[in-house]
Amino acid sequence: MITMITLILIWAAGFLLGRWMLKAEHLANNEEYTNGEIAVSCLLSCLSWLIVLIMLVKAWASSVSSYWKKPANNVKPKVD
């Protein structure tokens, strides 16, 4: 649970920092900061969760691949 909270805090800090940097860049260039750019930054931030999830699943699958390659034990039923 603490790991999840830590990940959420790190993601939120990165998300807010990214939005702040994008806004500062637009202000420095005297360009308009539109709602479309905010939506794109939010979408990309949410897609980063998907990429992290894919990487975690792939790492888990490769770590247990040796387990799945083992043959199943043939358990014979007991005769009463």
pTM surpassing 0.95?
no
Contacts of 41 by beta carbon, 8 Å cutoff, 6+ apart: 15, 18, 19, 22
Confidence of residue 12 (pLDDT cuts 50, 70, 90): confident
pLDDT value of residue 30: 92
Domain extent listing, the chain: 2-50
Integer angstrom CA distances of residue 27 from 9, 18, 38 = 27, 14, 14
Which tens digits make up the pLDDT trace of 37-56? Answer: 888 888 888 888 888 888 88
CA dist 49 and 8 (Å) reads 10
